[in-house]
Chain A
Amino acid sequence: MKYLLISLLFIAGCSTTVPVTQKFPNATPELMKKCEDLKKIEGDKVAITEMMKVIVHNYSLYWECSAKVDGWQDWYNAQKKIYDSIAK
């Protein structure tokens, strides 16, 4: 009993940690969508205009995907700024 009281007294100063956890921010749903596959030209005998349409379609897909990459960069920079503001 004596030793128990002495050891209790010694560990009385031990600290307890109070964790304040920050939830990892959710990504914007639009950013989570995968980039679409590029369109292929179908058929053996294809008019130049049909080929042009596929190329234009693929350019659109590229720029859509590029917008997503830009979005991810914006998202990261904004979230980092917010995260850093907590640590200050």
Chain B
Amino acid sequence: MWILSILPEAAIHTIFGLGILGTIAGFVLGFIPFVKAYKLAIQVISLLVLVLGVYLEGGLADYKEWELRVKEMEAKVAQAEAKSANTNVEIQEKIVTKTKVIREKGRDIIQYIDKEVIKKEEVIKYIENCPVPKEFIDIHNQAAELNKAAEAKK
């Protein structure tokens, strides 16, 4: 209810209170000369004010309930955002560690080839007598660039 954002809470309670007081005055305090003179007008106006007051009070109660729910939701969202950031940190650490291990292992294998494999007699003989055919190299290089073929087709 947009009207609740304009109207202060006190005004709503005042309207409701005036409605009640007016209704009591109009229906119960008829013996007072002033009230007696304007009885019908007081009854009609106070009933209208009371209806408006009840309506606004109901709206206010509903508005407050929604406000509470919004606050609950905001708290949940803030909690979720913090949790999400923590998850990101955990995943980041996990990937960094995994990538580091993979790189180190790969480097170890290459070092092993350079330091150990290359010294073996049978390997030396193989290197001397059997260079890798150019076709094999080309096939390997083509396979290494398969992604570029896919990009070119886009």
Residues of A within 8 A of B (CB): 8, 11-16, 18, 20-23, 25-31, 37-41, 43-60, 63-64, 67-68, 70-71, 74-75, 78-79, 82-83, 85-86
Chosen A-B contacts, 18 in total, with CB atoms closer than 8 Å, are A11-B2, A15-B1, A20-B77, A30-B95, A41-B140, A44-B134, A48-B132, A52-B113, A52-B117, A53-B113, A60-B103, A67-B99, A67-B102, A71-B91, A74-B94, A78-B84, A82-B87, A86-B77
A82 with B59: CB separation less than 8 A? no
- The reply to whether the CB of B9 lies closer than 8 angstroms to some CB of chain A is no
> If A25-B88, A46-B132, A60-B105 touch, does A12 touch B74 (CB 8 Å cutoff)?
no
The number of inter-chain residue pairs (CB within 8 angstroms) is 142
A49 with B140: CB separation less than 8 A? no
Task: Give every chain A residue within 8 A of B94 (Cβ-Cβ).
Answer: 71, 74
B145 with A38: CB separation less than 8 A? yes
Interface segment, one of B14-22, B25-33, B122-130:
B122-130
Nearest-neighbour CB distance to chain B for A47, whole angstroms, equals 5
Task: Give every chain B residue within 8 A of A44 (Cβ-Cβ).
Answer: 134, 137
Kindly state the separation between the CA atoms of A53 and B76 in the bound complex, as whole angstroms: 52
> If A16-B5, A63-B102, A86-B77 touch, does A30 touch B144 (CB 8 Å cutoff)?
no
Nearest-neighbour CB distance to chain B for A17, whole angstroms, equals 10
Task: Give every chain B residue within 8 A of A39 (Cβ-Cβ).
Answer: 144
Kindly state the separation between the CA atoms of A85 and B55 in the bound complex, as whole angstroms: 36
